[in-house]
Amino acid sequence: MNKIKKTEIMKSVYGRNDEAAADFNKFLTGKKIFCVNVLGSPGAGKTTLLIDLIGRLIRRSFVIEGDVASDIDARRLAGQNIPAAQINTGGACHLNAAAVADCFHNSAGGFIGGYLFIENIGNLICPVDFFLGEHAKMLVCSVTEGGDKSYKYPLAFERADVIVINKSDLSAHVDFDEKFFSDGARMLNQTAPIFTVSGVTGAGVSEVAEWLTYRAAPVTG
Ligand SMILES: Nc1nc2c(ncn2[C@@H]2O[C@H](COP(=O)(O)OP(=O)(O)O)[C@@H](O)[C@H]2O)c(=O)[nH]1
Ligand SMILES: [Mg+2]
């Protein structure tokens, strides 16, 4: 396939996704639902953090879990009484807006007012390019991944509305350089708050919940 043809196909893929995402965003806003697209590497602690975070929010939440295969995360959330649905991409490295909107309409009918969290496929590259209709992107990193991720995956940091450094309880055991990490993130993104948390001990998570509540208020009312 020549380069021009490939570029045209990719433009059309992004264009159609952006249209579906804009429609879904409008639908969610109309229902007073604030939507968060949760991005991060596999194992960064996205699901663990969501369980703690959701427990601290006053309004209710629904979670769409994206994984290549398995419904482990959706079952884990259901075990904590958090309503959740699972999308399996069967190989694709990111979720798309049409699949997310279909999943929501099929599994969360009647849900009004609150939060929709979409846990994207664990990956710092592909999911960044696909708008899902979210009001905010939350990037979850962890101290065990090393402090250089902001330098290696700049777009994820550039587009984040909030950056979370998870697994702070393990800081003493790894050589994570928080200043190096934050300097890299700040070069790319001057506005996103950076929170240091532990999804296991709960340290710092209430600050994330406060930020989210404040940020969501214009939508949730
Ligand atoms: N020590 C520690 N372990 C964590 C923390 N958050 C998650 N984990 C562990 O990291 C692993 C991956 O967590 P998970 O939430 O499934 O990550 P996800 O793939 O990003 O959703 C699990 O074994 C969790 O128990 C944390 O804050 N501290
Ligand atoms: Mg997960």
Distance 12 CA to ligand 1 centre (A): 37
Classify burial at 203, counting beta carbons within 10 Å of its beta carbon; exposed 0-12, middle 13-18, buried 19 or more.
Answer: middle
Distance 29 CA to ligand 2 centre (A): 26
Rg (CA), the chain: 17
> Going by DSSP bridges, is the β-strand pair 61-67/114-119 parallel, antiparallel, or unpaired?
parallel
Residues with CB under 5 A from ligand 2 (ion): 46-47, 73
- The span from the CA of 56 to the CA of 164, in Å, is 16
Query: Quick one: pLDDT at residue 1?
Result: 61
Query: Quick one: pLDDT at residue 73?
Result: 97
Question: Which residue carries 């909107």 as its tokens?
Answer: 101
Pocket of ligand 1 (CB under 6 A): 40, 42-48, 122, 166-167, 169-170, 198-200
pTM here? 0.96
Query: Quick one: pLDDT at residue 63?
Result: 98
Write the Ramachandran bin of 111: left for phi over 0, alpha for psi from -120 to 50, otherwise beta: beta
* Tens place of pLDDT per residue across the chain (221 aa): 677 776 777 777 888 999 999 999 999 999 999 999 999 999 999 999 999 999 999 999 999 999 999 999 999 999 999 999 999 999 999 999 999 999 999 999 899 999 999 999 999 999 999 999 999 999 999 999 999 999 999 999 999 999 999 999 999 999 999 999 999 999 999 999 999 999 999 999 999 999 999 999 999 99
Distance 74 CA to ligand 1 centre (A): 15
Q: What is the DSSP letter of 202?
A: -
**Exposure of 107 in the CB half-sphere (CA atoms within 13 A):** 17
Return the SS3 of 2: coil
Query: Quick one: pLDDT at residue 26?
Result: 98
